[in-house]
Structure 1
Amino acid sequence: MAQVTFKNNPVTLLGSEVKVGDQAPDFTVLANDLSEVTLADSKGKKRLISVVPSIDTGVCDQQTRRFNEEAAGLENVEVLTLSVDLPFAQKRWCAAAGLEAVSTLSDHRDLSFGQAYGVVIKELRLLTRAVFVIDSNDKISYVEYVAEATNHPNYEMAIEAVKTAK
């Protein structure tokens, strides 16, 4: 399992860690309108999944904005930001931020994504910061579990991975 800290304190990650080459696990999360979203909903596209502890914090805000900017120049790529924030809070944040290229999705209801990708912080019931790239054939082609959950991910590596994915 990935070794992760939150504010320099070790935390326990729940779920199954995924690795490059794995078949991407399915999941069910909620869109801002409370409709269910699954991995299959973006079948045939490349997916960049940006995972954040809470959209309303500084690093999470910056991460979501950065991937939104990068997404504007990518073809056949779905950029998803996942957190356990309530869909209503995500919708309010997106409206205030004016973001249109990223879909924010909530894993609050049953931690389906978090368990499937091994990103649930047991002690906080938050998702740890991570980035996953899934190719158009539903294979994991890039994984980053950010070692310190309050730090930024490697944006350049993630963008390069999605550009070169099948």
Structure 2
Amino acid sequence: MSVKRLFTAALFAISLATTGAAGAVEQQKPLEEQSLFERYTSSAQDLILKGLELVGINYRHGGTNPDTGLDCSGFVQLVYREAAGLILPRTAREQSQVGAVVDKNELKPGDLVFFNTMRHAFSHVGIYLGDNRFLHAPRTGAEVRVEDMRQSYWVKRFDGGRRVVER
């Protein structure tokens, strides 16, 4: 992993674990006092951490290999395979048919989020992080990164969410 990607992933993980609670918590805190990282189940943590390892990887249309580049669905497919042992379909449209439909206000870390970015439904996919943020491989000339779903571009194009891994 490059120093840049490792640094970015570390910074993001630290920002999620603002209370320093990446390990076990002896006494359960009220939900509103827990950091994002404390709220994740271990399967969601594994998905998020694997996804963060890939921050900075170049986008490549049709890409499924981090050494040569990833497209959005190739990124999601790789993360789910390596972090959860699940084999997802290849395209965003096919991935949108897997798992249970989740309302936007019910999204949890690790859920898949879909967008209409190519004038047809479910043409883009990412992995929800929590707090309206998601990880994805955006487009040619860009790298895997974190985005805010509250940006008007994403708000207008949101197609839905799917829960593939139960938490």
Structure of greater relative contact order (alpha carbons < 8 Å, 6+ residues apart) = 1
Do these two structures clear the TM 0.5 threshold for a shared fold by scoring above it?
no
Q: Quick check: which one's strand share is greater?
A: 1
Which of 1 and 2 has greater Rg? 2
The TM-score normalised by the length of structure 1 is 0.30
Q: Quick check: which one's helix share is greater?
A: 2
